[in-house]
C-alpha cells in the first residue's frame, strides 16, 4: 500500500532556492542529483501555477521530500512492489508493515523473488499474516514471472496503461495495486490513485468538499496536475498524514485492490 505517492526507488533530493544551476562533477557534467533537483523545481512550479490548492500545500512545506517515505521500505523490484501492494490491500499502514516484516523473516531478511515465494510452503505465508486470497494472487503472479508468461524487463518498459492491463488480468490485482507499483518500483511520474480511500479523504479535506469524492471526481481534479500527478498525490498524502498524526483517528485502509 502506498503511504504517499511519487516515483522510483532512488530518493529525489531538492533545492528550494531560485536560479538552481545544478551541481557539477569535476569534468563539468551535471550530476544525477542536480537533474532531479531541476525536475522537482520544474514540477513544483507547474503544480503551483496549475492548482491554487496545491500551491498552498507546496508553500506550507518548503523542505518536503516526496521520496523520503521510500527509504523506509525494503528494497523492491517490480515483483516486490506488487507483493507490497497486495499485502497492503484492506490493511492499515502499521498492519502492512508488521506483515511485511514477518514475510521478510521467512526469507532471511528480504522480500522474496518469485522463485523464492513459490518454493516456500504456502502455510508459512498464511502464518505470516497473508490471507489465502493474497497468497493465491502472489503465487499466480510469481508463476507467470518464472515460467516466462510475463517478463519483468518487458513489463517495466510498457506504458502505464499497457502494464496495468497485463497485471490486472491476474485475479486479486486491481488498478490500485498496479498504480502503487508504478510509483514505488518504476519511478513513473504521472500516476494518481483515485481508488485509494486515504487519497479521496485527502482530496476532500484539501479542497474543502462537503462530500467524499468518487473516483471520477478525483481524476477530474487531478487532470490539471498532469504530467506530475505522482508529486501532487505525494503532497496530498503528506497533508493527510500530518492531520492523522495530530488526531487519534488512524489512517483509513485503502478500499480497492
32-70+191-245: CATH topology: Endonuclease Iii, domain 2 (1.10.1670)
Instruction: Indicate if the pLDDT at residue 203 is higher than 80.
Output: yes
Q: What is the pTM of this model?
A: 0.74
Hey, where are the domains in the chain? 32-70+191-245, 77-184
* pLDDT band of 66, cuts 50, 70, 90: confident
Q: What is the DSSP string of the chain?
A: --SS----SSPP----SSS----B-TTSPBPHHHHHHHHHHHHHHHHHHH-HHHHHHHHH-TT--TTGGGGGSPP--HHHHHHHHHHTTT--HHHHHHHHHHHHHHTTTSPPPHHHHHHS-HHHHHHHT--HHHHHHHHHHHHHHHHTSS-HHHHHTS-HHHHHHHHTTSTT--HHHHHHHHHHTT--SS---TT-HHHHHHHHHHTT-SSPPPHHHHHHHHGGGTT-HHHHHHHHHHHHHHHHHTSSSPPPPP---
Give the dihedral sign, CA 72/91/243/56: positive
**Which whole number is the average pLDDT over 1-13?**
34
Domains 32-70+191-245 and 77-184 share a fold: no
Q: What letters, b where the CB count within 10 A reaches 16 and e where it falls short, cover 108-132?
A: eeebbbbeebbeeeeeebeebbbee
For 226-257, write each residue's pLDDT tens digit: 999 999 998 998 887 777 666 654 444 444 55
- CB-based contacts of 101: which residues, under 8 Å, 6+ apart? none
**Which whole number is the average pLDDT over 189-213?**
92
Chain centre to alpha carbon of residue 54: 19
Distance CA 174, CA 179 (A): 9
**Which whole number is the average pLDDT over 131-152?**
97
Residues 198, 192: contact at Cβ < 8 Å?
A: no
Least confident of 3-7, 153-157, 237-241: 3-7
For 77-116, write each residue's pLDDT tens digit: 999 999 999 998 888 778 888 999 999 999 999 999 999 9
Instruction: Indicate if the pLDDT at residue 125 is higher than 90.
Output: yes
Distance CA 108, CA 90 (A): 26
The pLDDT of residue 9 is: 30
* pLDDT band of 45, cuts 50, 70, 90: very high
Instruction: Indicate if the pLDDT at residue 26 is higher than 70.
Output: no
The pLDDT of residue 238 is: 82
Q: Report the chain's mean pLDDT, rounded to a whole number.
A: 84
Instruction: Indicate if the pLDDT at residue 21 is higher than 50.
Output: no
Q: Which CATH architecture has domain 77-184?
A: Orthogonal Bundle (1.10)
Residue 199 or 135, more confident: 135
Amino acid at each position: 500500500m502506498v503511504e504517499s505517492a511519487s516515483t522510483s526507488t532512488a530518493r529525489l533530493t531538492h533545492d528550494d532556492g531560485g536560479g538552481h544551476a545544478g551541481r557539477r562533477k569535476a569534468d563539468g557534467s551535471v550530476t544525477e542529483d542536480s537533474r532531479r533537483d531541476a525536475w522537482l523545481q520544474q514540477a513544483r512550479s507547474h503544480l503551483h501555477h496549475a492548482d491554487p490548492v496545491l500551491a498552498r500545500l507546496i508553500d506550507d512545506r518548503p523542505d518536503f521530500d516526496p521520496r523520503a517515505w521510500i527509504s523506509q521500505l525494503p528494497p523492491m523490484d517490480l515483483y516486490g512492489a506488487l507483493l507490497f501492494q497486495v499485502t497492503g490491500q484492506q490493511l492499515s499502514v502499521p498492519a502492512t508493515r508488521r506483515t511485511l516484516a514477518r514475510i521478510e523473516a521467512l526469507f532471511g531478511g528480504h522480500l522474496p523473488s518469485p522463485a523464492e515465494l513459490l518454493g516456500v510452503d504456502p502455510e508459512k505465508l498464511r502464518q505470516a499474516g497473508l490471507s489465502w486470497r493474497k497468497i493465491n494472487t502472489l503465487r499466480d503472479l510469481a508463476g507467470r514471472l518464472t515460467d516466462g508468461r510475463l517478463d519483468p524487463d518487458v513489463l517495466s518498459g510498457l506504458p502505464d496503461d499497457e502494464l496495468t492491463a497485463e497485471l490486472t488480468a491476474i485475479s486479486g490485482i486491481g488498478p490500485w495495486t498496479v498504480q502503487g507499483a508504478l510509483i514505488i518500483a518504476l519511478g513513473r511520474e504521472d500516476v494518481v490513485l483515485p481508488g485509494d480511500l486515504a487519497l479521496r479523504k485527502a482530496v476532500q479535506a484539501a479542497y474543502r468538499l462537503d462530500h467524499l469524492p468518487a473516483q471520477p471526481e478525483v481524476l477530474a481534479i487531478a487532470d490539471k496536475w498532469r504530467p506530475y500527478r505522482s508529486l501532487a498525490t505525494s503532497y496530498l498524502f503528506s497533508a493527510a498524514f500530518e492531520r492523522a498524526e495530530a488526531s487519534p483517528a488512524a489512517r483509513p485502509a485503502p478500499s480497492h485492490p
